[in-house]
Structure 1
Amino acid sequence: MSAKQTIAIIGATGNMGAAIARSLSKGKNRLLLFSHNQDKSQQLAHDIKNSHTSADVESIECKVNASWEADIIILAVPYGAEKEIAAQIRDVANQKIVISIANPLNETYKKMVTPTDTSAAEELQKLLPNSKVVKAFNTIFAADFANPVIDGKQVDSFIAGNDAEAVDTVTELVKTAGFNAIVAGELPASRTLEHMMLLLIQLTMKHNYNWLAGWKILHN
């Protein structure tokens, strides 16, 4: 990305939100951090500035204002929270990139709560019809952001979206975060990507990967 862009991270103090914020602060973009816990988001902004003195990051008290100021909005929230947030930011997210990281898993991590013919990202696109929804960051654990190279291999992070320019922009963000970016296809590919995370969680619980694991496509 050539021009500096403003990125709002909604849910910035959750495990994934904080990991994304810390990783993207290494880039040249401006970060707006929103959390219902203002003390935690202010502390996160402070910690990021201490780690990266050139980081342009601030805590912001209103998700609507954050989304209004942003070029890119990252919903670092559970699937169940997306509908309410989408209703709140719909008008200010017009024509903007909105990144869906959610995986619509049930409480036991055994299946999806969405029907087989859709995905969290596609449902979000319906809720935000004038936004450019892109699926990203959903196939990786929060711990992977601090360790994007596992066993000597850079973790792959998959992206899906209908708008080619938006996908290109998000691809650069994924690279900034330290991952190998792979474009999987248009938004319906999110169905596969969300099931990939379901499988990775199940494998991690079964084989005790200690929540530090990722996907890697091997090819010649």
Structure 2
Amino acid sequence: MQTKQTIAIIGATGNMGSAISKSLLKGNYRLLLKSGDQGKLNNLVKEIKSNNMAADVEAAPCPTEASWEADIIILAVPFEAEKEIAENIKEVANQKIVISIANPLNETYNGLVTAPGTSAAEELQKLLPNSKVIKAFNTTFAADFSTPVIDGKQVDAFIAGNDGDALESVKALVSLAGFNPIVAGDLSVSRTLEHMQLLLIQLGMKSNYNWLAGWKILHN
């Protein structure tokens, strides 16, 4: 029998955090959800359980406790919030998978705030040197989780990281969420992935995609 893993989702009530939380209920996971808005968090847990009484999900009192119990930690928070969270979970995230979904966008969406030659995920890895940081879910919009097939094509979701076993674990989560997982390379490839989403956001704003758009590699 497969051992049930625990996933902590920090920032669970945001658009992405909520979408990820709901998408992972189909798997054999225990979900610990954490948000700065306790009212929204309680409502999210109630909503999930009302739709699925058997859902193994609960609100977590703090990110440190949630991360201590977790096998996999998903930081569904903006880039600027990652540093403080990393400081709080550094010890309890030792040797654990930590997923960064952040895109370090500037306020006008015409560039990234990270310096050239680095990425949000690489900066997080520096803050969590003993964790297995993986980039995932950053090239998808929240709306894609409910509609992962667009125009008859399954949206590709790209993953980057330095640990092979961790990449395989995250591939399973991405597939469970409904996307086609593609391991793009090591963590440095996060620089490209974050720029890809910046471009998709810019195109969406220009062409009115209504936040329902995704990347697809066509090949033979």
Cα distance in 2 for partners of 1:2, 1:149 equals 29
Q: Which moved more, 1:162-171 or 1:35-44?
A: 35-44
Cα distance in 1 for partners of 2:32, 2:215 equals 29
Aligned to 1:88: 88
The RMSD of aligned alpha carbons is 1.0
Corresponding letter in the other structure for 2:133:
V
CA offset at residue 52 of structure 1? 2.2
Corresponding letter in the other structure for 1:199:
L
Aligned to 2:73: 73
Aligned to 2:17: 17
Deviations 1:83-128 (A, max 9, x none): 0110010000000000000001101100010111000000000000
Aligned to 1:123: 123
Give the aligned length: 220
Is structure 2 residue 182 aligned with structure 1 residue 182? yes
Specify the SS of the correspondent of 2:182.
Answer: strand
Deviations 1:122-165 (A, max 9, x none): 00000000000000000000000111011111100000000000
Moved over 3 A (4+): none
Identical columns (%): 72
Specify the SS of the correspondent of 2:7.
Answer: strand
CA offset at residue 9 of structure 1? 0.3
Question: Do 1:139 and 1:193's aligned partners in 2 also have CA atoms closer than 8 Å?
Answer: yes
CA offset at residue 2 of structure 1? 4.0
Runs of 5+ consecutive residues of structure 2 not aligned to the other structure: none
Question: Do 1:26 and 1:52's aligned partners in 2 also have CA atoms closer than 8 Å?
Answer: no
Equivalence map 1:1-220=2 (5 Å): 2-220=2-220
TM-score w.r.t. the length of structure 1 is 0.98
Specify the SS of the correspondent of 2:73.
Answer: strand
Specify the SS of the correspondent of 1:138.
Answer: coil
Specify the SS of the correspondent of 1:25.
Answer: helix
CA offset at residue 3 of structure 1? 2.7
Deviations 1:184-203 (A, max 9, x none): 00000000000000000000
Corresponding letter in the other structure for 2:126:
K
Q: Which moved more, 1:1-10 or 1:73-82?
A: 1-10
Question: Do 1:161 and 1:167's aligned partners in 2 also have CA atoms closer than 8 Å?
Answer: yes
Corresponding letter in the other structure for 1:153:
K
Cα distance in 1 for partners of 2:196, 2:2 equals 32
TM-score w.r.t. the length of structure 2 is 0.98
